A and B are shown apart, each in its own frame.
Chain A
């Protein structure tokens, strides 16, 4: 458990993506089965411990510590799991009933004292029991290393997880308490994070899988994260066959799961030099929709809806899941919209956002914001994997699948006819509906190849919106940028009670060069009005200030921001040292970009 706790502790404070990948890969390399498998389950959000709930933890801690002292502590720390982890005292020094213990000449550290014997017995016997989950759904043998917890006095991660998974709501608290007694503060914190769900340590499931691929690359030649992604939905913690394969000790596991995720093909942004290659004989053109990319799979009665990174979002879109009345796997854009006769009219991205990131969804919301899929590719048709077929043939297969769907929630993304690139360019600048963000160009002969190959698919986005905004606040960055003010909040003019005032409309921390960063940093330090911890307020009057040209992809209405708007994907596109702040844009300019139906 100590290694896992140390890993979490390090990850939460590490800003760099590469450093996080290395920390995780190193952990997988040095940690035995099945501990690392349970760690992987925790990192990818695949672990649910139903026997433990936060309210129960509060009750547990109330038995141990004076409530006033706990209240002072919680108030100071601000995080329940961390507070409990820190105040939990196995010796009972702070409890109401016990007398203070005499001081020994040299104070032993808590972790060195070892656990009470009873706890130790429990954890070791439990951990030796074969887990009912190991090897489930897999063909072939598994190997297992001797339990590491036998060597130390602290329970192993697997001992803890397996014990708690086998616990009922009634005996869960007692066991959690015993484990808390046996761990040090860092271990307790990790345990509490683990059981209360949601580690929130800045690691996505995708990143964890990427680190796994980095680790496996040493033994499995040419391993890409997509290969793991493709297997993932047939795997179960603690993933023994997966690790055996990644260490070159076994063959690649064969997934027996139905409706697996298949890694998606992505497009390269088109460049000026690519344009001459665009010919209607060679490239098909489609609209690029501003929804979320999904893979909808229906396989012998099992239906799943995945994001482009393989996250299963079926629970968020039960209405869509129900409408997957075909057999196969299609690639398309998830949108929300309205039925208009036979056709579906797509709504804006803001409307779609209402439905994202919800664990459960109300019937009312489903009715007001129904989801549908605008399909543009076919990966599996019936039982046939058609990814090796050219796009032209896959498109025909797709048309057949969509035509066979009776639920009226899947339609075809239409092809855009063109003769010349000039004509395409014109169409790109005048899309028929606002929810289009450009064009997709796909070679008629391209196979469906996971990743982002250069050449077969291009995306040709419409030009970003730009606005001239004034720098208002600057915050220090992290890692390499920790000595630079590199995160900028900027605003535009609005008529206020006392005349024009700047109102913040967004925040950006990239888009500029390293040289420009040095210049901005210097400006921030020389024009500081106020300091709030790591944030500086920068002079922003009509006469003095720094104007940024900010590029962004779209605008949503927002009730959380004072300005009433929120930018999508803002970045600094140019520094306008030449422009006085008074000439920066006004909020009305931005409001003009919000469509009437954008609410």
Chain B
């Protein structure tokens, strides 16, 4: 059997003909296996959906309880037979509930890793390397220029800036699912115990994380009223406000006088990116692998073949060539809308 008989890219996503399902389809399909809750991977309107309990909960929170025809909970490590194949979910370390999906038939195993990272993240289970014949990887940060610093260093930068500019609100742009909660949790771990203000778009997901036992400490909606009674005598003086990055260019941000605009993203390691977005304090915190982690993960898993789904495919494929590993880009469209 060739690998492409087991899984192959089609316009809807990765398709498994022997099991009759798609992985992370970008259009509605009959049967979908979902790696994680980001909106480019988890879309509403499928017939049957299989995902981890947390991912299903996130999808229900985002799209309403009727987001799919039926739901099946996947448990990490449990082997499930679908048609002529077996599938198994493994933690991917990307966001709460994120999984890699191993698909196996006739002695051949392909792992679709979805989005993943190797760093410690107190808000989700760590990535688990799985031996396989074909490893399907993303390449969001698949260029040698991407080497994320330790997130403790970046959180330290934010705390140092708060100390240097105690009269200015610090607006931290962070994607609503995963990044926002990780930043808040890391601030708590570094001893920051004051109320953190959040944009309305984050409220439901932060509550969901808290329900899942991830203690985010005191949070409050960043309303104009909240600003008036916030710590300083100016609105939100010296406060940390977390919201989706798009909101900071919006009129919503006018309630904060002279804010320091921060953005927590792997893209922030490129200064021009930060400058173009008007970011004053870039925080290089990513939920994806950097270049070293991508290449080291491939080396560790040592698959016979690597498929690259999205991102900077050409560079990662080039690296595989140099390392003597067969690799090809899948040129998949529709991902990375919410990648970072």
Whether chains A and B associate is yes
What residues of A have a CB within 8 angstroms of the CB of B1 in the complex? none
8 A Cβ contacts from B263-292 to A = 269-272, 274-276, 278-282, 291-292
Is the Cβ of B145 less than 8 Å from the Cβ of A83? yes
Kindly state whether residue B5 has any CB partner on chain A within 8 Å.
no
Q: Is the interface of B mostly helix, strand, loop or mixed?
A: helix
Q: A100-B323, A102-B299, A109-B153 are in contact. Are A69 and B270 (CB under 8 A)?
A: no
Is the Cβ of B271 less than 8 Å from the Cβ of A82? yes
Is the Cβ of B318 less than 8 Å from the Cβ of A13? no
Kindly state whether residue A574 has any CB partner on chain B within 8 Å.
no
Among candidates A83, A86, A482, residue contacting B261 with C-beta atoms closer than 8 Å: A482
Q: A23-B164, A93-B292, A483-B248 are in contact. Are A184 and B323 (CB under 8 A)?
A: no
Q: Considering residues B146, B279, B292, B298, which has the most beta carbons from chain A within 10 angstroms of its beta carbon?
A: B292
Is the Cβ of A534 less than 8 Å from the Cβ of B119? no
Q: Closest chain A residue to B296 by CB distance? A: A103
CA distance A15 to B278 in the complex (A): 9
Q: Closest chain B residue to A112 by CB distance? A: B150
Is the Cβ of A69 less than 8 Å from the Cβ of B318? yes
What residues of B have a CB within 8 angstroms of the CB of A72 in the complex? 143, 312, 314-315, 318
CA distance A374 to B296 in the complex (A): 68
CA distance A14 to B168 in the complex (A): 13
Kindly state whether residue A196 has any CB partner on chain B within 8 Å.
no
Is the Cβ of A483 less than 8 Å from the Cβ of B164? no
CA distance A177 to B288 in the complex (A): 29
Is the Cβ of B143 less than 8 Å from the Cβ of A100? no
CA distance A556 to B119 in the complex (A): 56
Is the Cβ of B150 less than 8 Å from the Cβ of A96? no
Is the Cβ of B279 less than 8 Å from the Cβ of A13? yes
Kindly state whether residue B20 has any CB partner on chain A within 8 Å.
no
Nearest CB of chain B from residue A81's CB, rounded to whole Å: 10
How many residues in B have their beta carbons less than 8 Å from beta carbons of A? 54
Kindly state whether residue B3 has any CB partner on chain A within 8 Å.
no
Q: Contact mask B48-67 → A, CB, 8 Å, 1/0? A: 00000000000000000000
CA distance A134 to B187 in the complex (A): 43
Nearest CB of chain A from residue B312's CB, rounded to whole Å: 7
Q: Contact mask B243-262 → A, CB, 8 Å, 1/0? A: 00000111111100111010
Kindly state whether residue A22 has any CB partner on chain B within 8 Å.
yes
Among candidates B278, B291, B319, residue contacting A478 with C-beta atoms closer than 8 Å: B278
Nearest CB of chain B from residue A154's CB, rounded to whole Å: 13
CA distance A83 to B252 in the complex (A): 35
Q: A66-B322, A68-B318 are in contact. Are A94 and B300 (CB under 8 A)?
A: no
Kindly state whether residue B76 has any CB partner on chain A within 8 Å.
no
What residues of B have a CB within 8 angstroms of the CB of A82 in the complex? 270-272
Kindly state whether residue B165 has any CB partner on chain A within 8 Å.
yes
Kindly state whether residue A577 has any CB partner on chain B within 8 Å.
no
Q: A65-B144, A72-B314, A89-B144 are in contact. Are A77 and B149 (CB under 8 A)?
A: no
* Contacts A96-B322, A99-B323 known; 13 new A-B pairs at CB < 8 A: A15-B278, A66-B318, A72-B314, A78-B272, A87-B144, A89-B144, A100-B296, A107-B118, A107-B296, A109-B153, A185-B147, A186-B149, A482-B249
| 29 A-B pairs in the complex with CB atoms less than 8 angstroms apart | A13-B274, A65-B144, A66-B318, A66-B319, A69-B318, A72-B315, A76-B143, A76-B270, A76-B312, A77-B272, A82-B270, A86-B144, A86-B270, A89-B147, A94-B144, A94-B295, A96-B322, A100-B295, A103-B299, A103-B300, A109-B149, A110-B147, A186-B149, A479-B258, A479-B280, A482-B249, A482-B259, A482-B261, A483-B253
Which 5 A-B residue pairs are closest in the complex by CB-CB distance?
A100-B299, A86-B145, A109-B150, A103-B300, A87-B144
* Interface residues of A, Cβ cutoff 8 Å to B: 6, 9-10, 12-16, 19, 22-23, 26, 65-66, 68-70, 72-73, 76-79, 82-83, 86-87, 89, 93-94, 96, 99-103, 106-107, 109-112, 184-186, 189, 476, 478-480, 482-483, 533-534
